[in-house]
Amino acid sequence: MQNSIRDNQLRMLWSSRIDYSENSGVKPHSHADLYQLLLIISGSGTVQLGNQHLPITSNQYILLPQTIEHGFQFSEDTTTLDFKFQILCKEFRELVSDCNLMEPADINNLDQFKQVFKLSIAYQKTKDSLLRYRIDVGFKAAFLFLLHARQSLKNSQRLTETSEVVSDSAIVQFLREHIHTKITLAEIARHFGFHPHYFINLCHKELGLSPMHYLQQLRLEKAREYLEFTNMSIDEIADTLSLSTPYFSRLFREREGLPPSQYREQTRTLVDKDIILEQDFSVEMQPRRNN
């Protein structure tokens, strides 16, 4: 039953969040039967793909296809998200080939891939077969977005990248743009041309929260991302979110049930670890990084 609960076009095999030190990397190698998607969260380096040496930097990705020799070397401390997967459908493989993802390209929103990685961590702990299916289809949706964006670029069409199927309302969009800004309720209400009391009622109807509580929620969401995927200090995170460190620490503990430092420690237990999503996947057959 468990093996049947998988996507029939794409199957995730492995994922990892890896911190590479300066001048480390992975020696050239190839995979006979799997694809690898490398996403750079921070840092930079060079990808060797066949006879090419391609520079890659933060907020970029590259697809490493099966059978083609590849390797990477990082010129500074670099954090990556790495996914290995199989494409089981001939038409899907042809689509990937046509879109040509085998050169570094920008990615403005890593949220969907970060969510897939979080699901992978949850699967590692629970072995819930439905989680594994969600990982397959979640990764496929994010990967298809990259394919669509690249295809649209080839056709000289503009595609607005978003992590949601439905676009945010103007209020939510404005609040997202001001996560890092010191801003008051009066200033937000003035931007939309409303009295603060009326604006609070409007937000409660649309968002279920007051504007300041919703902004607080967005800041905590961003704080979790910083704690999970960066090496920023607690002070730096608080300052970036326009909060004092004591207030940020108290707020985070109230919402998450543990202080920011402990949350980071828990989420980092699987950094540089193999998260295996297919029982037949052999870690021993995979290349290891050199230091």
Is the domain defined by 170-257 classed in CATH 1.10.10.60? yes
Residues with Cβ < 8 Å from 103, sequence gap 6 or more?
49, 54, 62
> What is the model's pLDDT at position 271?
74
> What is the model's pLDDT at position 159?
38
Sheet containing strand 70-74, strands side by side? 52-57, 44-49, 70-74, 25-29, 289-290
> What is the model's pLDDT at position 153?
63
> What is the model's pLDDT at position 134?
94
State the Cα–Cα distance between residues 91 and 98, nearest whole angstrom. Answer: 11
* CA gyration radius, the chain: 21
> What is the model's pLDDT at position 242?
94
> Pick from 175, 165, 179: which is nearest to 207 by CA?
175
Number of Cβ within a 10 Å radius of residue 186: 11
Please answer whether residues 242 and 203 qualify as being in contact, where contact means their C-beta atoms are separated by less than 8 angstroms.
Answer: no
Q: What is the pLDDT of residues 157-194, one digit of tens each?
A: 443 444 433 334 788 889 999 999 999 999 999 998 99
Q: Which CATH class is domain 10-162+271-290?
A: mainly beta
DSSP 220-236: HHHHHHHHHH----HHH
Can you give the length of the chain in residues? Answer: 291
Number of Cβ within a 10 Å radius of residue 140: 19
Please answer whether residues 85 and 31 qualify as being in contact, where contact means their C-beta atoms are separated by less than 8 angstroms.
Answer: no
Name the burial class of residue 157, with classes exposed (0-12), middle (13-18) and buried (19+) by CB atoms within 10 angstroms of its CB: exposed
Query: Helix %, strand %, coil % for the chain, to 5?
Result: 45, 20, 35
> What is the model's pLDDT at position 162?
41
Please answer whether residues 161 and 109 qualify as being in contact, where contact means their C-beta atoms are separated by less than 8 angstroms.
Answer: yes
Please answer whether residues 172 and 207 qualify as being in contact, where contact means their C-beta atoms are separated by less than 8 angstroms.
Answer: yes
> What is the model's pLDDT at position 47?
96
> What is the model's pLDDT at position 154?
60
Q: What SS3 class is residue 276?
A: strand
State the Cα–Cα distance between residues 140 and 133, nearest whole angstrom. Answer: 11
Please answer whether residues 3 and 263 qualify as being in contact, where contact means their C-beta atoms are separated by less than 8 angstroms.
Answer: no
Domain ranges (residues) in the chain? 10-162+271-290, 170-257
Q: What SS3 class is residue 123?
A: helix
Q: Which amino acid is at 61?
A: Y
Residue ranges in the chain whose pLDDT is less than 70: 1-4, 152-168, 283-289, 291
Number of Cβ within a 10 Å radius of residue 78: 24
> What phi-psi label fits residue 189: left (phi over 0), alpha (psi between -120 and 50 degrees) or beta?
alpha
Q: What is the pLDDT of residues 257-279, one digit of tens each?
A: 899 999 998 887 777 777 787 77
Please answer whether residues 110 and 40 qualify as being in contact, where contact means their C-beta atoms are separated by less than 8 angstroms.
Answer: no
